[in-house]
A and B are shown apart, each in its own frame.
Chain A
Amino acid sequence: MPEPVPGPASPQRRSAGELESQVLAALWAAAGPLTPQEIQHALGDGLARTTVATILARLHDKGQVQRHKAGRGFAYTPTVEDAAGLTARRMHHELGRNQDRSTVLARFVSDLSSDDERLLRSLLGEA
């Protein structure tokens, strides 16, 4: 039976929403503002520079990123909602407390035992 998931996609074939999420994730992961070239490098999958520029323009229009003049071009940072951001941090604590009871939120990773941790490190080739 064919799977309802697209096959191995070239970066260009990925949806706009997917790429927006990836650029946003790269900006959040960075310590400071990133130039389009740095974003392109951080994504690490051979995305065209024009594509990165288009995505950044779209994110800027939506107010999800802010840009600052940097040299001849712009550097980008993700938009942080001030007051809302603070509550989010406190509430996330709340979310953590009830984590073990959660039945419908599919979390990316579950807890590790110490044996699991050793095994994982060897699988990943880490000392």
Chain B
Amino acid sequence: MPTLSLLLPLLLPLLAAPLARRLAEQLAPRAAALLLAGTAATLAAAAGTALALTAGTALLRLPPVAALGHLSPHWLPDSPYTATAAALALTATAALAVRTARRQLADLRRARAVVGPGTAALAVLDDERADAFALPGLPWQRGQVVVTTGMLRALDGPERAALLAHERAHLAGRHHLFLALAEYAAVLHPALRQLRTPLGYHLERWADESAARATGDRAATARAVGRAALAAAKAPRPDRPLLAPAAHTGPVPRRVAALLTPATRPRASATRTAAALALTACLALTAATTLDATTDLHRTVESAQAATR
């Protein structure tokens, strides 16, 4: 059934994305980030393929394309509305992907301009506002840790060591690639947008845990995160939007609380196993239907070719 195998990859993310979020909450940070990124990549690839196959079939029916491929158009499925919708969705997706790429490149270029041409492992900006981030380098480069003097002055020695170790963990783990991937996945399927925030949180937690291990001091790492956030809030950028008091706890207090409790291995529970099984089923079904749709088109094209002979 070609329609179902093309529809499932577009529908399954609605179920799989919330499942992945739930499962990630019960995993260690690194496993959670890998799970969210893997889920986003699989579902996005399948959704993109389904759209491309739907639009592609319609393309093959166009007389010039059919002639070029020696196809008999009558052998190809005729569904002009679906094909037009898929083609429109594909065009919109491509346009959004280009916009995302340009935005990301502009971000990196702007940051690179601020930091200057050097490649020192640590770049310090003489600015009273507390800020710190990891600036990824080109694929063969190591990247730089960028910190303002305002941030360095807000922390003591062990806290600064934790901050540097945290940013180094982002660079070593190439976390910016995870973040970029999540952006493109969100463009390919709207249901995957909900994976961006949890992925960002778990990447921060992953870097926090790396910093705690590298410095051997969970308490100092917790203080570094907390005091850095307070320092950054003290001198907000004038153009930063004012945040309304949130009803729920934001990511920073959760990170600090997690660091203040001793490192524990999350224990397997029945709900975790159930969520893992359901997610695996969703991903397997997505992969299988996408593969099915691809071979289906291939077979159709072959029969249409045979019909012209």
Contact = CB atoms under 8 A, between A and B. Distances in A.
A29 B152 contact: yes
A104 B181 CA distance: 10
Contacts of B165: 18
B272 interface: no
B147 interface: yes
Most chain A CB inside 10 Å of its own CB: which residue of B145, B180, B207, B213: B213
Interface stretch (B45-53, B54-62, B102-110, B291-299): B102-110
A111 B242 CA distance: 9
B166 A108 contact: yes
A12 to B, nearest CB: 12
A34 to B, nearest CB: 12
Contact of A124 (B104, B113, B180, B223): B223
Contacts of B245: 113-115
Most chain B CB inside 10 Å of its own CB: which residue of A84, A112, A119, A121: A112
A120 B126 contact: no
A84 B17 CA distance: 46
B244 A108 contact: no
Interface in B210-225: 210, 213-216, 222-223, 225
Interface string A1-39: 001111111000010011011101110110000000000
A94 to B, nearest CB: 6
Contacts of B167: 106, 108
A71 interface: no
A113 B124 CA distance: 27
Nearest to B179: A104
B192 to A, nearest CB: 14
Contacts of B243: 111-114
Interface string A83-127: 011001101111111111111111111111111110111011000
Nearest to B157: A44
A51 interface: no
Contacts of B215: 9
B228 A95 contact: no
Nearest to A30: B153
A29 B232 contact: no
Interface stretch (B3-11, B73-81, B88-96, B247-255): B247-255
B103 A119 contact: no
The 6 closest A-B pairs by CB, nearest first: A8-B216, A44-B157, A108-B132, A29-B152, A109-B229, A113-B246
Given A5-B214, A99-B237, A106-B207, 4 more contacts: A18-B164, A85-B126, A93-B237, A111-B243
28 contacts: A9-B215, A18-B165, A21-B145, A26-B160, A43-B161, A44-B158, A45-B157, A64-B120, A84-B116, A88-B115, A96-B131, A97-B239, A101-B107, A103-B103, A103-B180, A104-B104, A105-B134, A105-B176, A106-B134, A106-B176, A110-B229, A111-B250, A112-B229, A112-B250, A113-B243, A115-B245, A116-B250, A123-B257
